[in-house]
Amino acid sequence: MLLIPCPWCGPRDEAEFHYGGQAHVVYPDNPAALSDTEWARYLFFRDNPKGPFAERWSHVAGCRRWFNVVRDTATNEIHAVYRVGETGPVNA
């Protein structure tokens, strides 16, 4: 089980969290102007790297806040944790 350091509550068991997929997926400026292909790409296409990946997690059994984690998808090592609105190593 992962030990995830919630930026508010400190390290907690993975079972207390909910996974939220890739972080920093930017909402299109003008969604109405997108073609179906582009819209589908925004909705459904996500990176799937082997290595560090910025993703969102929610501490559902604790403070119920969303935050960002940079996790290595190959080793599960957590490189960074930062709150929503804060600058992380990926969106810096």
H or E segment and range at residue 12: strand 10-13
Inter-residue contact 36 to 44 (CB < 8 Å):
no
Inter-residue contact 4 to 11 (CB < 8 Å):
yes
| Residues contacting residue 23 through CB under 8 Å, at least 6 positions apart | 54, 55, 56, 68, 69, 88, 90, 91
**Site for another protein, rule CB under 8 A:** 8-10, 12-13, 15-16, 61-65
73 in helix, strand or coil?
coil
